Amino acid sequence: MKNKHIERFYRGVKLTRAAGAATDVVDPPVTYTQVFYKEYPRFPSVELPDVTPCGEFDTLLEGRHSERSFADIPVSLDELSRILFTCRIVDRVRDPEKRTYPSAGARFPIEIYPIVFNVDGLERGAYHYDMPRHRLEILLEQDLRDRETEIVSPYLSNTAAALVLTAVLARSEVKYGNKAYPYSLIEAGHIGQNIQLACAKYDIGCCPIGGFVNDAVSEILDLTEDEIPLYVFGTGKSKLDDDEATRDSG
Ligand SMILES: Cc1cc2nc3c(=O)[nH]c(=O)nc-3n(C[C@H](O)[C@H](O)[C@H](O)COP(=O)(O)O)c2cc1C
């Protein structure tokens, strides 16, 4: 990696084929293993007005959840297209351009690569999302199902498409140096929320994945050393729907 300072962070957090994070897991104080909220009981507080969830936005937020075991039926090309379309350029003329997600300094370091296992109308393989033209560039036509555990962790099954978010760090690094790495992670999180809400809307199962094997994903996508995989979203048809469909047809 040319970016030696960023390589230092990356080397410390990569998941390797030997399975296990490169970082040492420390034993945190016991309260951190059991408590997920912070409170300031010794300070006064202000009650907030009650809010009743209403409308599609609240429904989608509440519908978001992680799903890991998908039905063995394909996602349609139309569904994949809709999910990807939540990560789009809204105004190309504005300077800097406006997208559906924010980017530190509008440097837009994140790229999206669908890895297709079971999508109607698409060959199995690896693709790159050409965002400006809303189309897929074919990188590799190959059945990658035997690499599924490296791409979406061993906890998912029957993944129809994995959406890999990578960072071309130098785009952000020219402006922010070391901060390129955390800023890219944050941007990937924003994009990830769009993907998850789209899945909630179109009734597609989805699971965010940090437990992919970094070098395996880099190799499959043939990434240069300046581009690193950050975050993966495993998607597929919800098993619940499959069971319901079976019940309905029975
Ligand atoms: C950064 C990040 C990485 C994650 N990595 C994995 C993963 O590798 N494997 C997995 O099964 N779930 C993964 N998850 C999903 C979490 O386990 C899940 O969000 C959490 O259990 C809460 O469940 P919910 O999403 O259904 O609310 C990840 C979530 C986040 C935010």
The model's pLDDT over 152-196, given as tens digits with 9 standing for 90+, comes to: 999 999 999 999 999 999 999 999 999 999 999 999 999 999 999
Q: Which protein residue has the closest C-alpha to ligand 1 atom 6?
A: 209
Residue 158 confidence (pLDDT)? 98
117 in Cβ contact with 144 (< 8 Å): yes
The hierarchical CATH code for the domain 69-249 is 3.40.109.10
CA distance 146 to 70: 16
| Protein residue with its CA nearest to atom 23 in ligand 1 | 66
Q: Per DSSP, what are the bridge partners of residue 113?
A: 164
Sign of CA dihedral 130, 135, 137, 138: positive
Task: Return the CA Rg of the chain.
Answer: 20
In a mutational test of the pocket of ligand 1, which residue from 209, 233, 235 has the highest number of ligand atoms less than 8 Å from its CB?
Answer: 209
Please tell me if the CB atom of residue 57 comes closer than 6 angstroms to any atom of ligand 1: no
**116 neighbors 83 (Cβ within 8 angstroms):** no
Residue 149's pLDDT is what?
97
pTM above 0.85, yes or no: yes
Distance 31 CA to ligand 1 centre (A): 21
Nearest-CA residue for ligand 1 atom 21 is 66
DSSP symbols for the chain? ---HHHHHHHHHHPBPTTSSBSSPPP---HHHHH------TTS---PPPP----HHHHHHHHH-----BB-SSPEEHHHHHHHHHTS-EEESSSSS-EESS--GGG---EEEEEEESSEETS-SEEEEEETTTTEEEEEEE---GGGHHHHH-TT-BS-SEEEEEEEEHHHHHHHHGGGHHHHHHHHHHHHHHHHHHHHHHHTEEEEEES-S-HHHHHHHHT--TTEEEEEEEEEEEBHHHHHHHHHHH-
Of ligand 1's listed atoms, the one at least distance from the Cα of 68 is 11
Q: What percent of the chain has pLDDT over 70?
A: 92
Asked if residue 103 lies in contact with residue 176, where contact means CB atoms within 8 angstroms, the answer is: no
- Quick one: pLDDT at residue 55? 97
Q: How far is residue 13's CA from residue 29's CA, in Å, rounded to a whole number?
A: 22
Separation of alpha carbons 155 and 208, rounded Å: 11
The predicted pLDDT at position 209 comes to 98
pLDDT mean by block of 10 residues, the chain; 250 residues: 77 78 66 84 98 97 98 98 98 96 98 98 98 98 98 97 97 95 98 98 98 97 95 93 45
Write down the pLDDT at residue 245.
Answer: 43
